[in-house]
Amino acid sequence: MTDDSRTVQVPLEDLTFDVTVAGPDDGVPIVLLHGFPESSASWRPITPRLTATGLRVIAPNQRGYSPGARPVAVEDYRIDHLVGDVIGLLDAFGLESAHLVGHDWGAAVAWQVAGRHPDRIRSLTAVSVPHPTAFGWALREDADQQRRSGYIGLLRTEGKAEAVLLEDDSRRLRAMFGHDNDPDLVETHVRLLAEPGALTAAMNWYRAMAPDLSDLPPVRVPTTYVWSTADPALGPAGARRCGEFVDAPYRFVVLEGGSHWIPEENPDALADAVLARVALS
């Protein structure tokens, strides 16, 4: 399988996004949203599998990660803006609708896009992060998920989070990826976040989080949720309740023993799940 990916710049109002595109221009579109502390490069391992079936991959470096889309105010990273970026991207490419895949924070945004704009989304594959209402319930009610999410407090602390993650040549930032991740991909992510203002912009996604994560109604598009049993950040409580908040065909894919970094470490299993969802939708 060959990789024909290229990066294009897409202006959306006063911001400009770096977007990786691959596959045939007339292929069925699929938008891939990365998480933290990653970049669109996290999708490289699965892109050839997707384009080989004729899909047109569109993978942006999201708000704060693209140098031309890095506003400084915390409020610029509210979920409304993040959702608007995805819809703006569809409009910029002239797409009435697309399949949507998101991992980590990208999944959180993807759930919101699918919930708010079901007419624009053909199918959803959410990776690691469950429906916001399921996750919000777990944060309130499940001690295990509360423990797993303890790191969020640090990331929301302005200045301290940046200092801790970037000191000693970004040692702790690199350590977040574990030992099984592709070193070249890790370096790509770390170099991007070491750019002036980039890590603060990424932290602003956490700092702009709404206190209530339970205001999104059930999603009404065909959905697959992929979760790993050894994910240190996302526990089973929210994962198992996710399907209660999908009012459409739903599939729950469990990767036994897999870590949080599904796109990089389990690309074949993830590609299988994505392609199965696309084929059914």
Task: Please confirm, yes or no, whether 225 is among the known catalytic residues.
Answer: no
CA dihedral sign, ordered 98, 92, 102, 85? negative
Q: Helices in the chain by DSSP H: which ranges?
A: 47-51, 79-92, 105-116, 132-141, 143-148, 151-155, 160-175, 183-193, 198-207, 236-241, 262-265, 267-280
The 10s digit of each residue's pLDDT in 48-67 is 999 999 999 999 999 999 99
pLDDT recorded at residue 232: 96
Output the six-digit token pair for 49: 């599998």
Q: What percent of the chain shows pLDDT beyond 70?
A: 99
206 belongs to the catalytic site? yes
pLDDT tier, 212 (very low <50, low <70, confident <90, very high otherwise) = confident
**CATH number of domain containing 247:** 3.40.50.1820
Catalytic one among 34, 131, 189, 260?
260
How far apart are alpha carbons 156 and 149 in whole angstroms?
A: 12
Q: Which of 18, 77, 99, 104 is catalytic?
A: 104
Per residue in 74-123, pLDDT (tens digit) is 999 999 999 999 999 999 999 999 999 999 999 999 999 999 999 999 99
The reply to whether 1 falls in a domain is no
Q: Which pTM does this prediction carry?
A: 0.97
Would you give the DSSP letter of residue 246? B
The reply to whether 272 belongs to the active site is: no
Residue type, 273: A
Q: Which of 65, 77, 206, 225 is catalytic?
A: 206
Q: How confident is residue 179, by pLDDT bands cut at 50, 70 and 90?
A: confident
Mean pLDDT calculated for residue range 156-172: 93
- 1 pLDDT band, cuts 50/70/90, is very low
Structural domain count, the chain: 1
**pLDDT tens, residue by residue, 41-51:** 999 999 999 99
In a domain? residue 134: yes
User: How many Cα atoms occupy the beta-carbon half-sphere of 140 within 13 Å?
Assistant: 10
Distances (CA, A) of 115 to 128, 165, 221: 17, 33, 8
Name the residue range of residue 207's domain: 6-280
